[in-house]
């Protein structure tokens, strides 16, 4: 709906809809998902996924003739879930286009960051409230594996992903804001949501969050080592001209206060940027430390239980037959939600 309103407004104003290529992975995912879901010639399905086609034929052979005739020849091993995945990707792409176009204005961009900040704080408050009030399961209705945080979303893995994304966004935002109050808010939400990743006991999300924090630290370290263009220009401007140093002493004395003020302003900006970068890194480290401190026993227990996982208890059991899955479905993959194929390996 928002995308339709935006397109109509741009059409009425005879303007263009501007976005960025960062949404290309979402668009490619949507195209590939639709390709898996749409009916294809049986010869093409046999070429791209011979093992999946043979299993589909074995299953459909048990059906009556009229039901077998209604089964479409598709690449997806779970067509209903693939259809829902296509809808999710279409919604994500529409949201990305609207946000990318709207946030070209600074005011809208600041509001978007504050919306993410408020969302993370609200999610952490709801999750902490469930724990403090001893609510069994998300909203008292949906129970899954034992975890410290399991709300507001039903699936702790999805909750951990959102916690990690909000934490990294807030940590990155802390390096760009100039208001101390907003810096404190971004740092606080980054620490809380980063700790929330570990309190969900989602092993994949823990690993992804730590990897993202290490990558962010590496990029900041690399940026500090490379001199910026402004530093090079300032150093060039401040360098004494040895060939004409003895001429026009009065002009150099009059320009010295302005150059000193420029140097002081440049030094203040550099120290402020360094402080904000250090604050972001400290926030990520503090989030990891806080999460491990609060849930260290459960995290260790989850990490040591990998050898005893089964297909009924965890999707991590699919990593054992991964080579067989790669050999059988290496051309196009198993698709969305096709975890059941691993139980037959």
Q: Where do we find the tokens 């039903």?
A: 154
314-340 residue pLDDT tens: 555 556 666 777 777 878 877 776 666
66-112 residue pLDDT tens: 888 888 888 888 888 888 999 999 999 999 999 888 888 889 899 99
Query: For 205-234, what is the mean pLDDT?
Result: 70
Over 50: is that where the pLDDT of 225 sits? yes
Residues 6+ apart with CB under 8 A from 182: none
CB atoms within 10 A of CB 219: 12
CB 279 within 8 A of CB 216: no
More confident of the two residues 315 and 154: 154
Over 60: is that where the pLDDT of 252 sits? no
Residues 6+ apart with CB under 8 A from 3: 94, 95, 97, 98
More confident of the two residues 107 and 230: 107
Over 60: is that where the pLDDT of 65 sits? yes
Write b or e for each residue in 117-155: b if 16 or more Cβ atoms lie within 10 A of its Cβ, otherwise e: beebbebbebbbebeeeeeeebeeeeeeeebbbbbbbee
The pLDDT value recorded for residue 329 is 81
Over 90: is that where the pLDDT of 49 sits? no
Nearest to 17 by CA among 28, 25, 9, 29: 9
CB 156 within 8 A of CB 144: yes
Query: For 123-136, what is the mean pLDDT?
Result: 87
More confident of the two residues 239 and 330: 330
SS3 39: coil
Q: How far apart are CA 261 and CA 102, in angstroms?
A: 37
Tokens at 188, concatenated = 């606080």
Over 60: is that where the pLDDT of 237 sits? no
Nearest to 316 by CA among 231, 201, 180, 191: 201
Query: For 46-56, what is the mean pLDDT?
Result: 86
CB 175 within 8 A of CB 283: no
Can you spell out the DSSP letters for 81-122?
A: HHHHHHHHHHHHHHHHHHHHHHTTSHHHHHHHHHHHHHHHHH
Query: For 232-251, what is the mean pLDDT?
Result: 46
Nearest to 342 by CA among 311, 312, 297: 311
DSSP letter at 38?
S
Over 80: is that where the pLDDT of 43 sits? yes
Over 50: is that where the pLDDT of 247 sits? no
Nearest to 335 by CA among 36, 9, 15, 34: 36
Q: Is the dihedral of CA 149, 152, 154, 155 positive or negative?
A: negative
- Give the model's confidence band at 251: pLDDT under 50 very low, under 70 low, under 90 confident, else very high: very low
- The pLDDT mean for the chain works out to 78
Over 70: is that where the pLDDT of 308 sits? no
Over 70: is that where the pLDDT of 246 sits? no
CB 189 within 8 A of CB 117: yes
Indicate the length of the chain as a whole number: 345
Query: For 274-279, what is the mean pLDDT?
Result: 70
Q: Which residues, in sequence order, are bridge partners of residue 138?
A: 142
The pLDDT value recorded for residue 229 is 46
Query: For 151-173, what is the mean pLDDT?
Result: 88
Percentage of the chain exceeding pLDDT 70: 74
More confident of the two residues 69 and 262: 69
164-184 residue pLDDT tens: 999 989 988 888 887 888 888
**174 burial type by CB count under 10 A (0-12 exposed, 13-18 middle, 19+ buried):** buried
The pLDDT value recorded for residue 113 is 92
CB 75 within 8 A of CB 45: yes
More confident of the two residues 293 and 296: 293
Percentage of the chain exceeding pLDDT 90: 18
Over 90: is that where the pLDDT of 60 sits? no
Half-sphere exposure for 203 (CA within 13 Å, toward CB):
14
Question: If residue 51 lies in a helix (H) or strand (E), which one and from where to where?
Answer: helix 50-60
């Amino acid at each position: 709906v928002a995308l339709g309103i935006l397109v109509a407004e741009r059409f009425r104003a005879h303007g263009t809809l501007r976005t960025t290529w960062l949404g290309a992975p979402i668009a490619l995912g949507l195209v590939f998902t639709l390709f898996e879901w749409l009916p294809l010639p049986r010869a093409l399905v046999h070429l791209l996924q011979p093992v999946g086609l043979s299993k589909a034929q074995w299953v459909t052979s048990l059906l009556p003739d009229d039901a077998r005739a209604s089964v479409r020849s598709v690449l997806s091993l779970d067509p209903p879930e693939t259809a829902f995945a296509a809808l999710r990707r279409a919604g994500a792409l529409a949201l990305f286009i609207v946000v990318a176009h709207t946030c070209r204005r600074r005011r809208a961009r600041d509001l978007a960051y504050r919306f993410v900040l408020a969302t993370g704080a609200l999610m952490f408050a709801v999750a902490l409230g469930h724990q403090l009030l001893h609510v069994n399961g998300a909203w008292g209705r949906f129970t899954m594996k034992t975890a410290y945080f399991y709300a507001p979303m039903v699936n702790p893995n999805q909750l951990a992903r959102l916690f990690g994304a909000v934490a990294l966004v807030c940590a990155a935002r802390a390096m760009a804001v100039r208001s101390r109050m907003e810096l404190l808010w971004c740092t606080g939400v980054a620490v809380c949501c980063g700790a929330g990743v570990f309190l969900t006991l989602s092993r994949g999300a823990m690993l992804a969050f730590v990897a993202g924090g290490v990558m962010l630290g590496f990029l900041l370290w690399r940026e500090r080592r490379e001199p910026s263009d402004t530093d090079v220009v300032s150093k060039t401007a401040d360098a004494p001209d040895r060939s004409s140093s003895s001429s026009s002493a009065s002009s150099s004395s009059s320009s010295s206060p302005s150059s000193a003020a420029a140097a002081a302003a440049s030094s203040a900006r550099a120290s402020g940027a360094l402080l904000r970068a250090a604050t972001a890194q400290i926030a990520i480290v503090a989030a990891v430390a806080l999460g491990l401190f609060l849930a260290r026993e459960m995290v260790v227990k989850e990490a040591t239980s990998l050898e005893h996982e089964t297909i009924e208890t965890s999707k991590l059991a699919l990593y054992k037959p991964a080579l067989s899955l790669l050999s059988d479905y290496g051309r196009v993959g198993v698709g969305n939600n096709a975890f059941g194929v691993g139980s037959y390996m």
